[in-house]
Chains A and B, each alone.
Chain A
């Protein structure tokens, strides 16, 4: 892969990871975590681990984001810390 794009994706992964931890709004954190999973899926696919990329896309970016959103809906939306 072109290393510039690789670097850009890696930086986005870092931004999403730090953002998911730092954001006060839990719904935003869930969505950022989904974006993180999807970017990781791209990285796995680039490295040739297509099976892992597939799992990351379906489990990480798909279902677990839905679970997070469902859980956030049933609790308070803002984090206390």
Chain B
């Protein structure tokens, strides 16, 4: 069976590789892909949307409908992870470990206590807790604000440079994941609550679809940002540029919150108390 599978894979792979010879040359201006709508984007993007980065204009404006459902896919992935993994009942297993803040003494309880000890006296730590590295913790504490600032820059500057909502959102989400990795999951969860991640990922999709519906209400087509110019009090070309920005903010919110949500549920088996 394995030999048959290998033969089929080799055959199909060989066919694919032999077919690449018929591809047009890399960057060939006469190739079919470069003849149909590409010239319009290359020539008119600047005058129609005033966005120098053509990729961003195509993604969020000309092909905005695609990107809206890409955002919905990300949101759906987050919802699916939540529904599959999240567990409400407390983690099975008897022990809970606390550290007395003043003395550093570690206390292990063989049964989960009925009432949590006062958090300012006893800090709960992970069962398989290993002392966190001081250098790693503090370097991450210093780095995370800059990572987040860079994420915001990537979202806001996607008009002019590579980047946009997806990349910036992932960078923002990665900064929260980095906090969870270098400190612990509980710290990250108190900084960004579970309801916040859910609400933000839904809000992001809502912002995107809302901008589109607003354009519809203003008499344009769905996601035709030029129709927003009376509200934004700018000319239609600048309105398209601004509309792209609003949409990118929505994408960034949704992607960031979904990344954090998926990581938490994966790393803590759905209990959101302790993870990697």
Residues of A that sit less than 8 Å from B by CB: 47-48, 50-51, 53-55, 58-59, 62-63, 66-67, 69-71, 73-74
With A47-B26, A58-B174: A69-B164 Cβ-Cβ less than 8 Å: no
Residues of B that sit less than 8 Å from A by CB: 26-27, 53, 55-56, 154, 162-164, 166-167, 170-171, 173-174, 177, 181, 259, 262-263, 266-267, 269, 275-276
Bound CA–CA A50/B167 (angstroms): 12
Set of chain B residues within 8 Å of A47, measured between Cβ atoms: 26
B34 to chain A, nearest CB (A): 13
Q: Is B177 in contact with A58, judged by CB distance below 8 angstroms?
A: no
Set of chain B residues within 8 Å of A58, measured between Cβ atoms: 167, 170-171, 174
With A51-B55, A73-B267, A73-B276: A66-B177 Cβ-Cβ less than 8 Å: yes
User: Which of A67, A69, A74 is B269 in contact with, Cβ under 8 Å?
Assistant: A74
Q: Is A55 in contact with B166, judged by CB distance below 8 angstroms?
A: yes
A43 to chain B, nearest CB (A): 12
B163 to chain A, nearest CB (A): 6
User: Which of B26, B171, B275 is A70 in contact with, Cβ under 8 Å?
Assistant: B275
Bound CA–CA A63/B256 (angstroms): 11
Set of chain A residues within 8 Å of B166, measured between Cβ atoms: 55, 59
Which residue in chain B gives the minimum CB-CB distance to A59? B170
Set of chain B residues within 8 Å of A73, measured between Cβ atoms: 267, 276
Bound CA–CA A50/B173 (angstroms): 21
Bound CA–CA A47/B26 (angstroms): 9
Contact sample, A vs B, 18 pairs, CB 8 Å cutoff:
A50-B162, A51-B55, A51-B162, A51-B163, A51-B164, A51-B167, A54-B154, A54-B162, A55-B166, A58-B170, A62-B174, A63-B170, A63-B177, A66-B174, A66-B181, A69-B276, A70-B275, A70-B276
Given pairs A67-B266, A73-B267, 6 additional interface contacts (CB within 8 A): A47-B26, A51-B53, A62-B174, A63-B177, A66-B177, A70-B266
- With most chain A CB atoms within 10 A of its CB, the pick from B27, B162, B177, B181 is B162
Bound CA–CA A47/B181 (angstroms): 34
Which residue in chain A gives the minimum CB-CB distance to B171? A58
Set of chain B residues within 8 Å of A55, measured between Cβ atoms: 166-167, 170
Q: Is A54 in contact with B167, judged by CB distance below 8 angstroms?
A: yes
Q: Is B170 in contact with A66, judged by CB distance below 8 angstroms?
A: no
User: Which of A51, A54, A63, A71 is B173 in contact with, Cβ under 8 Å?
Assistant: A63
User: Which of B26, B167, B171, B262 is A67 in contact with, Cβ under 8 Å?
Assistant: B262
Q: Is A66 in contact with B269, judged by CB distance below 8 angstroms?
A: no
Q: Is A74 in contact with B266, judged by CB distance below 8 angstroms?
A: yes
Bound CA–CA A25/B164 (angstroms): 35
Q: Is B177 in contact with A54, judged by CB distance below 8 angstroms?
A: no
